[in-house]
Structures are given as C-alpha cells and as structure tokens.
Amino acid sequence: MAASEPIVTTNVDTAEVPSAEWGWSGEAPRLFRFLGWFFAVVLLLFTIGNHEGKVEDLWLVGISAFMVLLLVLDIIRRRKPR
C-alpha cells in the first residue's frame, strides 16, 4: 500500500454517505432520545405561564404526549429481539 492511499476503516461508501469522508457516518441515537425526553418535559413546563386560554395547554400536552408515546415505542422496539 502506498503512503498516499487512504486507510479504509469502515465499509461505508463515501458516494452514498458523503459525511463519512470526514469521520461522521451515522446517527446519534442516544442524543436524539435524550433530546426527545428533554423537549417533552420542556413542552410540559410551557404550560406554566400567564396565558388564560386552555387551547395552548391542550396543544402542549398533546404534542408532549405524542413525543413520549414515540419514545416509549422506541424503547419497546429496541428491546425486542430481531
């Protein structure tokens, strides 16, 4: 192998995944899950405020509940054997 040839450490084709060329060729599932739980809690904290209508609260709680449902389904999906 010549000194100018790149060393291949993964089987990721840079034509399919351009970011693999500079070292990033995947996702960050733990970060995404953490952010999902974080923003679900933040949306619930937004219900504490000085607004008088309850429509905003319904939207905030509904979106937060939907996010929690998706996160719980993800936990169940990851635990099942493939």
For position 51, what pLDDT does the model report?
81
For position 60, what pLDDT does the model report?
95
Label residue 62 left, alpha or beta by phi (over 0 means left) and psi (-120 to 50 means alpha).
Answer: alpha
For position 1, what pLDDT does the model report?
55
Q: Spell out a b/e string for 43-66, using b for 16 or more CB atoms within 10 Å of the CB, else e.
A: bbebeeeeeeeeeeeeebeeebee
For position 21, what pLDDT does the model report?
65
Under-70 pLDDT residues of the chain: 1-27
Whether 4 is in a domain gets the answer no
Whether 65 is in a domain gets the answer yes
Q: How many separate domains does the chain show?
A: 1
Whether 61 is in a domain gets the answer yes
Q: Give the pair of three-digit tokens for residue 44.
A: 């619930």
For position 28, what pLDDT does the model report?
76
Whether 15 is in a domain gets the answer no
Q: Quote the domain boundaries for residue 67.
A: 29-79
CA-to-CA separations, 62 to 7, 66, 67, 76, in angstroms, rounded? 49, 6, 9, 21
For position 81, what pLDDT does the model report?
79
